[in-house]
Amino acid sequence: MKTCCTVMASLLLAAVFTLVSCSSATMKRVTNARLSSFDWKNCGKPDAPAVLSSLTISPDPISIPGDLTASASGSTTVALTAPLAVNVTLEKEVAGFWVKIPCVEELGSCNYENVCDLLDQVIPPGQDCPEPLHSYGLPCHCPFKSGTYSLPQSDFYLPYMDLPYWLTNGNYRVQGVLGEGGQELGCLKVALSIHSD
């Protein structure tokens, strides 16, 4: 994966899956959930510097807990340096309409002013990047150099996790806009359906 994609994908996934390990009162333990109908597209301007060129996730549906296989590639024509902003908009389909889910405890439709800081909090600088990034020499901290980044097909295990209470069965779509100093660098839209018992 690349810079923007590493950053955006991890934030988008974090927004959906809540990799945040705080089990506050607003979280519930999910013992068996399925993610299906995964789809994605770039939503930036045609000349956006940061784009995702491929993202493949299987199987469909993905089980939580369970294994998934993912590969991704993308590129950025500019270096991505702190402070990097990401504005996330999370919507759920309700009776045929897309309803925006507000930002609650840093999850939902939230604006993150500096994802470089967030990355430093999740992955302490100086320590190896988590696998499979480390094996493929992919970076996990700002700044991300301009260039092409690709993550070959890799296996991940999704453990039991805590999800926010509002994350109920249904169709969701998430948009992430990456920006630096008021300038839009890239935009990614992801859609998926969640079903848990």
Ligand X SMILES: *[C@@H]1O[C@H](CO)[C@@H](O)[C@H](O)[C@H]1NC(C)=O
Query: Which residues of the chain form contacts with ligand X (CB under 6 A)?
Result: 85, 87, 111, 177, 179, 182, 184
Q: 71: phi > 0 → left, psi -120 to 50 → alpha, else beta; which? A: beta
Closest to ligand X by CB, 9 vs 177, is: 177
Burial of 59 (0-12, 13-18, 19+ CB in 10 A): exposed
Q: Which residue has the tokens 């996330």?
A: 88
Closest to ligand X by CB, 16 vs 85, is: 85
Letter for the amino acid at 6?
A: T
Inter-residue contact 159 to 65 (CB < 8 Å): yes
Instruction: State the minimum distance, in angstroms, from the CB of residue 135 to ligand X.
Output: 31
Inter-residue contact 90 to 101 (CB < 8 Å): yes
Closest to ligand X by CB, 90 vs 177, is: 177
SS (H, E, C) 111-153: EECCHHHHHHHHCCCCCCCCCCCCCCCCCCCCCECCEEEEEEE
Which are the contacts of 96, defined by CB distance < 8 A and separation ≥ 6?
Answer: none
Closest to ligand X by CB, 33 vs 90, is: 90
Closest to ligand X by CB, 164 vs 179, is: 179
